[in-house]
Amino acid sequence: MSAPPTPGANRPIYLDNHATTPPDPRVLAAMRPWWEENFANPASVEHTLGRAAEEAVEAARAEIAALIGAEAREIVLTSGATESNNLAIKGAARFAASQAPDGSAAGLERRRIITVATEHKCVLESVRDLQAEGFEPVILPVGPDGLLNPEVLRAAVDERTLLVSVMAVNNEIGVVQDLPVLVAISKVSGALFHTDAAQAAGRIPLDVGAVPIDLLSLSAHKLYGPKGIGALYVRRRPRVRLAPLLSGGGQERGLRSGTLPAPLVVGFGEAARIARLEGTLDAGRIAGQRDRFLAALQAAVPGLQVNGHAERRVSGNLNLTFPGGADAQAIMAAAPGVCVSTGSACSSAAVEPSYVLRAIGLEEAAARATLRVGIGRFTSPAEVDRAAALLARAWESTVSRRAAE
């Protein structure tokens, strides 16, 4: 494994691998010929270059499928996890409505769509959007550890439930939901089960053959692939039916029209291949870096709090609340050499504190004192040591300045 190119000696330490990961050099190498040597449209199968592009796309699709134990024809390529989540939730709901006697949700016995308060915004907003179309959204709470209690789901799922959507790994606090148990509960009532696995793929094992998930969303740039490409797994047996969100040329078996970006698809396929072969090794190494970073920071910052379940979390995630009336934005400003965040990159413009942290019971002041740290494949021991020292120094300076005011 080789590290990505270094822009310069003063390059900031990147610890924001939940927002995005740097593309693996092997991914960049795989993509390059499809920008320069063969830029053909993969749908242009009438000529040699088009057919070659189509073959490359299909080989990549097979690698994406292999990462989650699926068949290649069950993979629908999209622009990313946001589109995949929208297609899964709205597509399933709207197809069901189209089969009702009156063609609307009002004529459905199954109109309930269940999700969780800590889901990504695109899932929560998709579920809420469907309320205007006659569906019944149900947003379930999580415990202080960020996990959904299976009994809470069991009480909510019944014969009226069309779809349950629970993310595999939370994008802020990194907790891993117990998908086998949650899927089994949902299946008892005959509901479909969708999971946003953008933060899970390549970090934890996923096997749709072993756990009968119906719909699963992926994003390449969360697993060292390119931005702008994702996928939705759609189970074939028993068949899951969706209404498309886009009208057009009928690509992706009519579920997602639009020209496929062959270089991005190829990059996604290579990233998936690497994750399948090296994911376990990655996770072990990253967990060691995380533990090293946390030990150093806890030694320098007494009272530092880790949010989310202590064990059921992905190896590179730490969600940390700093004590002493600290302000996370001030800590980041005082440590410009470290790239961390206060929460989801998709919600970073929001003024209010993270809704995920509020959902697990943090008060507003604590939520505003919280940083998300994402350690990744290319993080070195020297970087975690340096980052811990810089953040500890930044915390001390901001708390001291606040006390003096």
Are 382 and 296 in contact by the 8 Å Cβ rule? The answer is no
Quick check: 126 pLDDT over 50?
yes
What band does 352 get if pLDDT is binned at 50, 70 and 90?
A: confident
The yes-or-no answer on residue 339 being catalytic is no
List pLDDT tens digits, range 305-329: 999 999 999 999 999 999 999 999 9
Place of tokens 């740039």: 221
Other Cβ atoms less than 10 A from the Cβ of 284: the count is: 10
Residue type present at position 338 = V
Confidence (pLDDT) at 402: 79
Confidence (pLDDT) at 199: 98
CA–chain centroid gap for 377, Å, is: 16
User: Strand order in 192-196's β-sheet?
Assistant: 75-78, 230-234, 215-219, 192-196, 161-165, 112-116, 136-140
Confidence (pLDDT) at 3: 55
| b/e code 330-352 from CB counts within 10 Å (16+ = b) | bbbebbeebbbbbbbeebeeeee
Confidence (pLDDT) at 5: 46
What percent of the chain has a predicted confidence (pLDDT) above 90?
Answer: 93
Quick check: 257 pLDDT over 50?
yes
Residue 404: C-alpha distances to residues 38, 134, 235, 304, 400 (Å): 63, 56, 60, 21, 6
**Which is catalytic among the residues 300, 346, 393, 396?**
346
Quick check: 55 pLDDT over 60?
yes
Residue type present at position 373 = V
pTM over 0.85: yes
What band does 381 get if pLDDT is binned at 50, 70 and 90?
A: very high
The closest of 213, 195, 175, 235 to 115, measured between CA atoms, is 195
d(CA 189, CA 288): 41
Average pLDDT score over the chain = 95
Confidence (pLDDT) at 345: 57
List pLDDT tens digits, range 382-392: 999 999 999 99
Quick check: 227 pLDDT over 80?
yes
Strand, coil or helix: 280: helix
Strand partners, 136: 112
What band does 1 get if pLDDT is binned at 50, 70 and 90?
A: low
Quick check: 7 pLDDT over 50?
no
